[in-house]
Amino acid sequence: MKHAPKPALLADSAVIAKRTRSLAARHRKDIFFRNVCRTVASSSALVLVLLLTAILTQGLGSLNFQFLSGPPDPDPAIAGLWPAMMGSVWLVVLTLVIALPLGVAAAIILEEFQPRRVYLRRIHSFVQLNITNLAGVPSVVFGILGLTVFVSMFGIFGNGQEAGMEVGVTYFDQFYNEGDFILEVPVADQAQPVAEPVEGMTVFSYEGTAMALHLLGDDEEWPADPALAKRSLRTWDAPGRIQENSWWYFRLPFGRGVLAGALTLMLVVLPIIIIASQEALRAVPSSLRQAALGLGATPLQTVRQITLPAAVPGILTGAIIAMSRAIGEAAPLLMIAGIVFITHAPGNMMDDFTAMPLQIFNWAGRPQKEFHDLAASGIIVLLTALLIFNTVAVVLRQKLQKPLS
């Protein structure tokens, strides 16, 4: 059969002529598709240009010092982004501080200590699959998890609105007397009843000096001596309860504070950091590891002194990607903090907060065009921060990247 006659498609010139596709048409298709490709690809670049132009034209007008340094305001003309910017800074720093060690540690175990035993290997690949899946969980779901676990802690410590346990806080009752002086009475905790003025009890001036209270009845004359007036109250004077949080104020449950927000963002960025760190560790040539192990270093010493330092540029790049994600993420924060009117930067980890993406969302969702302009200005600030992050990443990578082999 080796000398079988050639098939019609190769031998019969009539068939060949009839069946052959037009070469010109095939080339036309090729060129046509290349042009389609170019159009499509440049259109995605065009979308980027369009997006940036629209935002710049809309937002540059209201981007001024007032906007950058002031608090939000119902009047769009004087509204500012300062508390949101500071909120974002708190969130990003806290998120990174929590997520980076956790993520790098997990990456080290997954990449550098791959088990040999079969059942351990199963666990290992399960953990790996689990991380892939976490990376695909919508961030809003992490938000709802954070709401339950961090904000209210399943309601273990009460209703979640008020602190069940707290440190770093002082309470005092504050009186405001007829002579326009402030007198303060310290109280042990929030549960104490409101202080009743008693003759001779110790009170503190606004400046903090201890004084003996001088109590006056209804009809007694207000003392003329300013030193006496400073420590005088009428019997019917009633105080207000003041809470003063130190910068290390801490409470359980966390409530809708910065820490709850940062922990929730940590859930979002953890898979990113783990995957990036794993890739960075994987890229370290195994000859380096073997050299260290050959010199008698334990596996952990090898990781700490050889592998990890070599992987630092890659890990930092991952950390910056995670920061970029954290600073732009809005959905989980919306679940945690909602949209609240906040006029001050957070002072401690439990403070209420807003963040740039939340403020942008708030302004963008209003019907008035003036607020849309503010949203655009906010976007410019946010994108500038992202641009800085990415520039830092590029510079770091170039500075730290030494040839490894």
Partner 1 sequence: MTTIPTPLKPAIRLRGFDAWYGDFQALHSIDMDLPENRVTAFIGPSGCGKSTLLRWINRMNDAIPGARSSGQLEINGHDVLGPATDVVELRRRVGIVFQKPNPFPKSIYDNVAFGARLHMKATKAEMDELVEWSLRKAALWDEVKDRLRSSALGLSGGQQQRLCIARAIAVGPQVLLMDEPCSALDPRSTASIEELMVELRESYTIAIVTHNMQQAARVSDFTAYMFLGKVVEFGATLDIFENPDCQETEDYITGRFG
Partner 2 sequence: MKRSSTGPAARGALKGASSRHFRKWKERGLFSLLNGAALFSVFITLAIVWVLGAETLNFFAQDEVTVGEFFGTTQWNPLLGAEKHFGIWSLVCGTFLVAGVALLVAVPLGLITAVYLSEYAHPRVRAILKPALEILAGIPTVVYGFFALTLLTPALKTLSEDFGSFNALAAGIAVGILILPIITSLSEDALKAVPQSLRDSALGLGATRFDTSFKVVFPAAMSGITSAVLLASARAIGETMIVALAAGSTPKVTADVRDEIQTMTGFMVQMALGDVSNYGVEYYSMYAVAAMLFVITLGFTLVGAYMRRRFREVYD
The site partner of 8 among partner 1, partner 2, none (C-beta below 5 to 8 Å per kind) is: partner 1
C-beta closer to partner 1: residue 15 or 49: 15
The site partner of 15 among partner 1, partner 2, none (C-beta below 5 to 8 Å per kind) is: partner 1
Distance in Å, CB of 38 to partner 1, minimum:
19
Distance in Å, CB of 8 to partner 1, minimum:
6
Residue with tokens 């959905």: 331
The site partner of 298 among partner 1, partner 2, none (C-beta below 5 to 8 Å per kind) is: partner 2
**Beta partners for residue 250, in sequence order:** 167
Residue 299, SS3 per DSSP: helix
C-beta closer to partner 2: residue 183 or 333: 333
Distance in Å, CB of 12 to partner 1, minimum:
9
C-beta closer to partner 1: residue 15 or 137: 15
C-beta closer to partner 1: residue 27 or 304: 27
Distance in Å, CB of 103 to partner 2, minimum:
8
- Neighbour-count burial for 31-65, b at 16+ CB within 10 Å, e otherwise: eeeeeeeeeeeeeeeeeeeeeeeebbebbeebbee
Report the alpha-carbon distance of residue 320 to residue 387 in Å, rounded.
11
Distance in Å, CB of 217 to partner 2, minimum:
46
Count other Cβ atoms within 10 Å, centred on residue 302: 20
For residue 202, the surrounding DSSP H or E stretch is strand 202-205
How far, CA to CA in Å, does 76 sit from each of 66, 70, 133, 354?
A: 11, 12, 42, 17
**Residue 359: which residues within 8 A CB-CB, separation 6 or more?**
72, 81, 84, 378
Left, alpha or beta for 178 (phi > 0: left; psi -120 to 50: alpha)? alpha
Report the alpha-carbon distance of residue 305 to residue 292 in Å, rounded.
9
C-beta closer to partner 2: residue 201 or 392: 392
The site partner of 19 among partner 1, partner 2, none (C-beta below 5 to 8 Å per kind) is: partner 1
The site partner of 328 among partner 2, partner 1, none (C-beta below 5 to 8 Å per kind) is: partner 2
Contact status, residue 72 vs residue 359, Cβ threshold 8 Å: yes
The site partner of 233 among partner 1, partner 2, none (C-beta below 5 to 8 Å per kind) is: none
Q: Using CB under 8 A, list all residues that contact partner 1.
A: 1-2, 4, 6-10, 15-16, 19-21, 23, 26-27
C-beta closer to partner 1: residue 11 or 340: 11
Distance in Å, CB of 310 to partner 2, minimum:
18
Q: How far is CA 72 from the centre of its chain?
A: 20
Contact status, residue 230 vs residue 243, Cβ threshold 8 Å: no
Amino acid at the residue 230: K
C-beta closer to partner 1: residue 8 or 52: 8
Residue with tokens 């910065």: 258
The site partner of 68 among partner 1, partner 2, none (C-beta below 5 to 8 Å per kind) is: none
The site partner of 20 among partner 1, partner 2, none (C-beta below 5 to 8 Å per kind) is: partner 1
The site partner of 79 among partner 1, partner 2, none (C-beta below 5 to 8 Å per kind) is: none
DSSP state of 12: -
C-beta closer to partner 2: residue 45 or 224: 45
Distance in Å, CB of 379 to partner 2, minimum:
5
C-beta closer to partner 1: residue 9 or 137: 9
Distance in Å, CB of 13 to partner 1, minimum:
12
Distance in Å, CB of 37 to partner 1, minimum:
17
Report the alpha-carbon distance of residue 364 to residue 377 in Å, rounded.
11
